[in-house]
Structure 1
Amino acid sequence: MSAERFQYAAPWWLPGGNAQTLWAALASRRHFGPAPRWTRSRWNTPDGDFIDVDQAQHAAPDGAPLLVLFHGLEGSSASQYAVAFADFAAVNGLAFAVPHFRGCSGELNHAPRAYHSGDFEEIDWVLRRFAREHPGRPLLAAGVSLGGNALMRWAAEMGESAGTVVRAVASVCSPLDLAAGGHAIGRGFNRLVYTRMFLRTMVPKALKKLEQHPGLFDRDALLAARNLFEFDNLFTAPLHGFRDTNDYWSRASAKPVLHRIRVPALALNARNDPFIPAVSLPTPQQVGTRVTLWQPLLGGHVGFPVSHGPLGVPGHVRAMPDAVGHWLLAQI
């Protein structure tokens, strides 16, 4: 286990976790060369549903690693961090893919379910299919926010057998303690900005799911939900086998099982992430010997914008994908 620090310095005029988060999401430069182009495949799931998988079209030599990125809540291959990781993969000659969680590719999935933070069974199925289809490529996996928590849960659940599928895993700005993160995003500025942003897409998708499967949940109660706790209580938890939000957040969190991980694993969390209280982050004493903790003071939530030019204007967000990507490559 290592507690080494990711050396990140924020642009001088972009102080605070919210500024670093919002700039990265809305105004950052995500790639140095051409924007990534994608080839989309539809994978039929074992339960009769489907997911859509985007694979970057750039060339990767035979035998080069395949990096699989699991996106965050309401994310996709168009998310700023996915584009930045695709750019890193192109520059370094890696194959790269973004599997979309159910309902996140632009088309609603069919089954009476969506996706959730502890969905390690879905992670397992996806990673094993990638391993079968690319037997000549070492497999690396990263997950951002929600996707990172689910990936770390998978690594912990699989134990020693995870090493037969992947060489290493990494989580980026993941709420490894879901209760701490869930309550934090439901308060103050977070509730006014981030909660509204997420619910703006999550509620309409849930209502479309209700049209597919009448009686699945209480429509009026869902429309009255004003935070993720209430949304998860009505939709996410019951649809995925949890008793309620508290049960979901408790059982799906990766933090309590990080000590069971037996493959090289990196957990990167900025200590000023507005979604994730620093006091909730795992300590070296709480993780296994294969887990590396990077907890820089700054960076925000999937932010890490870096400056360029004489004025130090915030520019690209490749600092984080570069650091995480090279850490993963070093584990092969």
Structure 2
Amino acid sequence: MIKFEQWKGEAATSEPPFIAAGWRGNRHFQTIWPNRIKRDPASAQLASWSKSVIIKSEDGDSLRVRWSQHHDDPSSQVSRTSSDNGHHNAARAATQPNPRPVLIVLHGLAGCADSDNVMATAAKGYALGFDIVRVDLRNTQANDTPSLGVGHAGRSEDLRATIRHIEEQVPGAAITVIAFSLGGNITLKALGEYGEILPKDLRAAATISVPIDLGSACTAIDERRENWIYRRYFLKRLKNRYLNARQQRPDLFHAIDVENIQGIRDWDNAVVVPLGGFTDAENYYTINSSLKVLEKIRVPTLLVQAQDDPFIPFESFQTPAVQGNDFVCLLSPKQGGHVGFYSTMKLDSEPDLYWAENRALAFCAKSVDLCWNNESGSVSAVAPSAN
């Protein structure tokens, strides 16, 4: 099997290139259009029978994860005949000699566990053979159990809690992670904090369009005139979430005048800082930017980052922490926008046109020796195992 270091050295030439011809390569088209396209109906089918479980984070807070396991699939002959009321039978899982690998999928700032890109990635991962865990980060709209604390880009403890939950429910199952945007910062921060002391079953992680330097990303989205549409979109979603959480738990979420907040940095100062226990926005960014711990990552990790991302400066990735870590591989096409990467050329080996998702899935699949079902298409990237 290919060693990670060998694969990393060959990745730039061996990976299928990202191709977006003509005006469809525009970074704003790439950022907006791919997220408006109706995705594969397999995503909705997966969501229809997924099981929702509340788990506890390290600080005693609650978050919701959504399991999709092959033995629960109503279309599967090995589906269970009895209900466990949403709780997974760890004893039965422990008796399985070779449990299926588990893929964790984390959403971005304005998303949730039911976001289209999360669901589509989960459905493709499920087709590869993974059991799936989609995570609802704290106080997302899909999480109808408001958390005690505010969700933010530094909640690495939530990923750690999810990994522990999987280890308890499915002992011995190989674990991989795919994360988008803000969820990617949480993931990279957690991996860096683990350092050499990794969960024994964690095999690989892949992130897409991650603001590894929170301060510079915030400045870009707030101060570039062309980014007004993204700023407005994010703030609308954040305000709705906060008002929903406050309606359910007014004792925890104060009467902040969120309607008049006009920028992401202003939002962080008004909401995240007081509820998260930071001194100001700069303190929040400094403490929680994954860039400061990337050099400590010791598990094979793929970063997919477009050089033309409208609000994540690519300079953040041109640093020794990224370029000099043998456990980190950066794929950085010139185009792709933010969580876009919608190709104009479908390869026979690809299940769809979402290039970054397929790179991430291939990377994680190879790390646990899974292959795509050739009858439904294959993901052609070659990714290494941790061995």
TM-score, normalised relative to structure 1: 0.88
Cα pair 2:306 2:333 within 8 Å, conserved: yes
- Cα 1:296–1:270 change in 2 (3 A) is same
Query: Secondary structure in 2 aligned to 1:14?
Result: helix
Using the TM superposition, name which of 97-106 and 140-149 deviates more.
97-106
Say yes or no: does 1:45 pair with 2:36.
no
Say yes or no: does 1:84 pair with 2:93.
no
- The 5 Å alignment of 1:158-307 reads 158-211=194-247, 212-214=249-251, 216-217=253-254, 219-220=256-257, 222-284=258-320, 286=322, 287-307=324-344
Cα pair 2:114 2:142 within 8 Å, conserved: no
Across the aligned residues of Structure 1 and Structure 2, the Cα RMSD in angstroms comes to: 2.6
Cα pair 1:36 1:86 within 8 Å, conserved: no
- Cα 1:282–1:254 change in 2 (3 A) is farther
- Cα 1:297–1:165 change in 2 (3 A) is same
CA shift, 1:86, in A, is: 1.9
1:55 alignment partner AA: W
Cα pair 2:61 2:148 within 8 Å, conserved: no
2:292 alignment partner AA: P
Say yes or no: does 1:74 pair with 2:110.
yes
Say yes or no: does 1:19 pair with 2:48.
no
Distance in 2 between residues matched to 1:324 and 1:213, nearest whole Å: 40
2:39 alignment partner AA: R
Q: Which residue of 1 aligns with 2:178?
A: 142
Cα pair 1:30 1:317 within 8 Å, conserved: no
Structure 1, residues 145-199: CA drift from partner, whole Å, max 9, x if none?
Answer: 0001111100010112224241111211110011111111113455421111111
Query: Secondary structure in 1 aligned to 2:197?
Result: helix
Say yes or no: does 1:319 pair with 2:331.
no
Query: Secondary structure in 1 aligned to 2:360?
Result: helix
Using the TM superposition, name which of 184-193 and 127-136 deviates more.
184-193
Using the TM superposition, name which of 198-207 and 294-303 deviates more.
198-207
Q: Which has the higher contact order (CA 8 A, sep 6+)?
A: 1
Using the TM superposition, name which of 117-126 and 131-140 deviates more.
131-140
Distance in 2 between residues matched to 1:213 and 1:124, nearest whole Å: 28
Q: Which runs of 5 or more residues in structure 2 are unaligned? A: 79-97, 368-384
Using the TM superposition, name which of 261-270 and 277-286 deviates more.
277-286
Work out which of the two has the higher radius of gyration on C-alpha atoms and give 1 or 2: 2
Count residues with an aligned counterpart. Answer: 325
Say yes or no: does 1:54 pair with 2:66.
yes
CA shift, 1:108, in A, is: 4.5
Cα pair 2:305 2:333 within 8 Å, conserved: yes
Structure 1, residues 251-282: CA drift from partner, whole Å, max 9, x if none?
Answer: 10011211101111111111111121122224
2:121 alignment partner AA: F
